[in-house]
């Protein structure tokens, strides 16, 4: 089985979000895929089974399978296009737990992913507790199943926060998304994602959370296109466009290494 490690949402190695991509050439059990993901110990390991018109795609964290993952989808498409598994002029259709996801390769080398958007609902949280956790003023809190979304007032608080993982784990089944409006020449908004319950203290760059934040910020700011920063230590850049009930996420990727994985 071919195994690739790819850094997503970056043009530089050792930045962005690393994902493992396994090109599955035989049937694997869920236990085997989970063991491989644990061994890789990255935020996600993707398993791709090639087809003639579409590909099956699954994602596993070190702790469990997840229904949607942006950076590992980007990494998977990058591998298929760049390693000769798929015609670069044809979009890739991935069959996933979140339905069909379509990825296209752009003329500038970036990749665009067409994902379903999710509208968060307002949440009635203990604001004092949340402000103490993140060390800054909170504008509002929201939820989708499994996730808490916290909107901060000041970018400096987002960049400097170092929340307690034990408290984070008690707030949501999966993780806590934190976002702030920047509104400068570099970025429209910035975010971070903390998910200790998924085996990830902080995810470097998270595609799926931008399917939530894009419609949120579009509603608040009256615009449908954004440049976003994920402000982790590795950092990553995303270009986002809201199109009806879909979000197009565009980013770059770079291969770190490839290997053969036999077990």
Q: Are residues 128 and 199 in the same domain?
A: yes
Which residues pair with residue 113 across a beta bridge?
Answer: 103, 249
95 and 174, same domain (yes or no) = no
Let me know: does 49 contact 40? Beta carbons within 8 Å: no
Q: What φ, ψ does residue 168 adopt, rounded to 5°? A: -55, -45
Could you say which residues of the chain have pLDDT below 70?
none
| CA 198/CA 233 separation, integer angstroms | 19
| Residue 27: other Cβ atoms inside 10 A | 7
Range of the domain at 68: 2-116+250-260
Asked whether residue 73 falls in the same domain as residue 155, the answer is no
CATH number at residue 60: 3.10.310.10
For 29, the token pair is 């059990």
Any idea which residues carry the catalytic annotation? 44
Which residue's entry shows tokens 């296209």? Answer: 104
Scanning 54-190, the segments in alpha helix (DSSP H) are: 70-82, 127-134, 155-160, 165-171
Residues 9 and 84 in one domain: yes
The predicted structure's pLDDT at residue 123: 97
45 and 15 belong to one structural domain? yes
* 149 and 188 co-located in one domain: yes
What pLDDT score was predicted for residue 199?
A: 87
Residues 87 and 198 in one domain: no
Dist. CA 70–CA 208, nearest whole Å: 5
Q: Please, which residues have CB within 8 angstroms of residue 95's CB and are 6 or more apart in sequence?
A: 54, 55, 56, 57
Q: What is the pLDDT of residue 1?
A: 94
180 and 211 part of one domain:
yes
Question: What total of structural domains would you count in the chain?
Answer: 2
Asked if residue 135 and residue 94 are part of one domain, the reply reads: no
Same-domain check for residues 104 and 185: no
Which pLDDT does position 249 carry in this prediction? 98
Report residue 158: phi and psi, to 5°: -65, -45
What pTM did the predictor assign? 0.93
The pLDDT tens digits for 42-95 are 989 999 999 999 999 999 999 999 999 999 999 999 999 999 999 999 999 999
Q: Give the pLDDT of residue 101.
A: 95
């Amino acid at each position: 089985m071919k195994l690739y490690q790819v850094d997503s949402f970056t043009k530089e190695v050792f930045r962005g979000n690393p994902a493992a991509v396994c090109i599955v050439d035989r049937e694997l059990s869920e236990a085997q895929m989970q063991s491989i993901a644990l061994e890789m110990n990255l935020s996600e390991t993707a398993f791709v089974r090639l087809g003639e018109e579409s590909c099956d795609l699954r994602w596993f964290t070190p702790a469990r399978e997840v229904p949607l993952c942006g950076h590992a989808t980007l990494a998977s498409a990058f591998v298929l296009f760049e390693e000769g598994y798929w015609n670069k002029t044809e979009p890739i259709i991935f069959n996933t737990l979140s339905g069909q996801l379509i990825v296209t390769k752009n003329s500038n080398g970036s990749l665009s992913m067409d994902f379903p958007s999710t509208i968060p609902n307002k949440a009635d949280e203990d604001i004092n507790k949340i402000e103490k956790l993140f060390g800054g003023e909170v504008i509002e809190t929201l939820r989708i199943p499994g996730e808490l979304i916290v909107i901060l007032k000041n970018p400096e608080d987002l960049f400097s926060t170092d929340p307690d993982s034990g408290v984070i784990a008690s707030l949501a089944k999966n993780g806590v998304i934190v976002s702030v409006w920047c509104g400068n020449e570099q970025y429209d908004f910035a975010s971070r994602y903390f998910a200790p319950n998924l085996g990830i203290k902080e995810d470097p760059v998270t595609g799926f959370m931008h399917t939530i934040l894009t419609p949120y910020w579009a509603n608040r700011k009256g615009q449908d296109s954004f440049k976003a920063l994920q402000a982790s230590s590795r950092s990553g850049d995303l270009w986002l466009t809201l199109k009806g009930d879909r979000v197009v996420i565009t980013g770059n990727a770079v291969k770190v290494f490839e290997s053969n994985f036999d077990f």
